[in-house]
Structure 1
Amino acid sequence: MPMKAPTADWIDTAQLLDDPYPAYARLRAESPVAYVPRLNRYFISGYRDCFDIEMDQDTFSSYERAETSTMLRTMGRPLLRKDDPQHKAERNAMAPALRPIAVKKHWNSAFEANARRHLDSLRAAGPGADLFRLFAVPYAADNLSAVIGLHDITPEQMMDWSHTLIRGIGNVTGDPEVWAETTRVCAEIDGAIDAALSSSRDTDALTLISQMTQAGTSDEDLRANVRLTVSGGMNEPSHVIASAVWCLSAFPAQRELVESGQSTWRDVFEETARFHSPVGMYPRRVTRDTSVGGVAIPRDATVAVIVASANRDSAQFENADQFDLTRDATSHLAFGNGTHICAGNWVARSMIGDIALPLLYDELPDLRAIDPDTTDYHGWVFRGARSLPVTWTP
């Protein structure tokens, strides 16, 4: 007989924003499945439970109700808030632009050109420059515009769109000013989509917009999925780039492994994604009375799958609170798992692990964060550094 869920009324949302990892460690030790009344969610913090939930979409559905979903109010219903077969159909429509072969043959040259251009800006600013603002953000923005198929979008505009959509997703209090901003941003994104759709040069392009159009994706679904890609496709890569540089600065012995050839830049990418998960949580709706880890969860409850906690679970990763390039980190859940694994994961692996990180460290000798201990990390649903001043040997 499943037990009643422990109540974690000690969870402090302000603390989660500042540094969620102490709370996650306590949850894993005391109550890996716990009800958090402040957020009206069941927190799932252990690796195996998070893994299994993602493999069971019949019980743990991504399909949120429109009347309670801030994501749907913000951007419409993208594939992230659908189950198969609808989810699979839309994912398949986007897939040709995101497969490893497309990344290798089509996108890598564009990614490298963007990386070199923004590296020049960082280098021109000189030691002390903010790598996050001058390299990671504009590099991610320009790559995202290219893959989606948008034209003449500045990095500042893309960041505004992304941050505003994310504020909308988090607008659980219904702040009308936030809703007004999301309405503005969605109209701007729609205008950019219209421009792409009307451009004859994009008809056969290997972009998300072109591929969804060719597959017959409805206009409503296409727009919702572009908005989703804007919201997530900016934050994850820019945060992983900054976090990787932070990790190699805070753990210099690990950097020596890369420099000596004992570890690869792909190893850096995977371990960074595990250690500093850029997406820390996603919700699932329970479709029937069930149990997780011997704890009862009722139908229609919402579970918070805390992948950032799962990625620090010592039952899965030895010395999980250490950044260690010698481990096999490829089983991390930073990109999710199962049918909803991030569609852009191969794009991220290539643009960061194959291009951005090797280029930065080849071109900027002794690149390092100036003061890793004071780096301003923030967030728990989405988490990353808000700035990263760096130095190098000129």
Structure 2
Amino acid sequence: MARTARSAAEAPAGVPRLDLDPFSDDFLRNPYAGHAAMRDAGPVVWLERYRVYAVARHQEVSGVLADHGTFVSSRGVGLSDFAKEKPWRPPSLLLEADPPEHTAARHVVTSILNPKLLRTLKEDFQLKADALVAEVAARGEVDGVHDLAERYPLQVFPDWVGLSREGRENLLPYGSMVFNTFGPINHLYEKAMERGSRAAGWIMEQCTPGNIEPGGFGAQLHASAAAAGYTEEDQARLLRSFLSAGVDTTVHGIGSALHCLAANPEQFRLLKDKPSLARAAFEETIRHASPVQTFFRTADTDTEVSGVPLPEGAKVLMFLAAANRDPRQWERPDEFDITRRAGGHVGFGFGVHACLGQMLARLEGECLLGAVARLVDRIELAGEPEIQLNNTLRGLERLPLRLTPAA
């Protein structure tokens, strides 16, 4: 069963109509021709299959993201319109909220999660990255996803939050479920709901005030939210937002970075020669690979984008990944280049809803890639990578690598 938007029945005359299915397995495996077709068709296109508007150029994607007053998140950041359909779970106080509610919730988080805090984490995060990379590199042939991209975030992120050591494997299926629900009710949605529902109980137990380890980010977040007048239920919802989105996206970012470095040995050599490029390499990966491929917004009033009229209730599908490879914005956009100034990409969103955890993701990516640069002499593909299909995310299920440890 395919869920379709129930907003505008038809696109206005003159808007290019495309019969692309951005949630099909074929498109998700290789979206780039579809991205180019949408960018070339016009600033706004109409996707017949789901009866939604779409934007794929950098200017329009960043413009919709920036105009949070017109293109709202409180009506859902997926295909479903919360003004017309009941959400499958209580909406996120961060991702699926608008100012002033979103502003208040974001302030609770940023009062704790800030650059000063991140600086205190770097030494420990780097030591753990070094230990893991040294151990894995000694084996030679490894799975870059399972052995590095998943293991590292599943260690440092839960430690930092203060999660129980038992049950951390639930973070990945739960996050996959959340991101899959932003798309249509297809086989990916249904499979993710089945797997993620089994993990949801552990997630909610961890989010409940009093169940988290004292002293960690989770306990601090609960205390800050309580001081701001949030109920225990809403304190749990705030932490749930981090457990929903704080692992899968970083896993995909690190996995894609390892893939890009293995597939582009000259780029790995640049990183090897100058390990301080680790953060730039991760940033270029977020632009080039875009772990978060798409998000929706809903027009809360009659409006227009680049001269194209959109009615109230119109769902707008933003192709972040297509914007990040828009030749109108980037030179040689399909090339992976760690010396590129990748600032301005929309891989972490843009505007008031820019990803709150992006500083933490960057820290994890920098530490892991820095460790690889210093402790690995060669990184090569040892087989064909396997894409992990998801209605919203793009990353790898499997990445066979051959690592040569540094002498």
Per the TM superposition, whether the score is higher than 0.5 is yes
SS at match of 1:282: strand
Q: Answer whether contact 2:60 2:305 (CA < 8 A) is retained.
A: yes
1:247 aligns with 2:260: yes
Structure 1 residue 19, shift from structure 2 partner: 0.9
Count residues in correspondence: 386
TM-score by length of 1: 0.88
Q: Deviations over 1:147-183 (max 9, x none)?
A: 4332224442222322333344446359778656555
**What amino acid sits opposite 1:111 in the alignment?**
F
Partner of 2:3: none
Structure 2 residue runs without a partner (length 5+)? 1-11, 76-80
**What amino acid sits opposite 1:189 in the alignment?**
I
Q: Deviations over 1:122-166 (max 9, x none)?
A: 246x12211211121121122221343322244422223223333
Distance of aligned partners of 1:325 and 1:91 in 2 relative to their CA distance in 1, 3 Å threshold: same
Within 5 Å, which residues of 2 pair with 1:275-290? Answer: 275-290=288-303
- One of 28, 48, 56 as aligned partner of 1:45: 56
Partner of 1:79: 94
Question: CA RMSD, aligned part only?
Answer: 2.8
Partner of 1:32: 43
**What amino acid sits opposite 1:66 in the alignment?**
F
Greater shift, 18-27 or 256-265, is seen at: 256-265
Structure 1 residue 360, shift from structure 2 partner: 2.1
Q: Answer whether contact 1:75 1:227 (CA < 8 A) is retained.
A: no
Structure 1 residue 80, shift from structure 2 partner: 0.5
Give percent identity, aligned residues only. Answer: 27
Partner of 1:362: 374
- Higher helix residue share: 1
SS at match of 1:140: helix
Greater shift, 158-167 or 85-94, is seen at: 158-167
Q: Answer whether contact 1:377 1:384 (CA < 8 A) is retained.
A: yes
Distance of aligned partners of 1:68 and 1:113 in 2 relative to their CA distance in 1, 3 Å threshold: farther
1:317 aligns with 2:330: yes
Q: Answer whether contact 1:283 1:305 (CA < 8 A) is retained.
A: yes
Structure 1 residue 392, shift from structure 2 partner: 1.7
Greater shift, 229-238 or 297-306, is seen at: 229-238
Greater shift, 153-162 or 205-214, is seen at: 205-214
Partners of 1:15 and 1:176 in 2: how far apart?
18
Within 5 Å, which residues of 2 pair with 1:187-198? Answer: 187-194=201-208, 197-198=210-211
SS at match of 2:172: helix
Within 5 Å, which residues of 2 pair with 1:1-394? Answer: 4-11=14-21, 13-64=24-75, 65-66=81-82, 72-74=87-89, 76-105=91-120, 107-119=121-133, 122-123=136-137, 126-170=139-183, 172=185, 182-194=196-208, 197-198=210-211, 201-202=214-215, 207-261=220-274, 264-353=277-366, 355-371=367-383, 374-379=384-389, 381-394=392-405
Structure 1 residue runs without a partner (length 5+)? none
Partners of 1:220 and 1:205 in 2: how far apart?
14
TM-score by length of 2: 0.85
Partners of 1:360 and 1:91 in 2: how far apart?
34
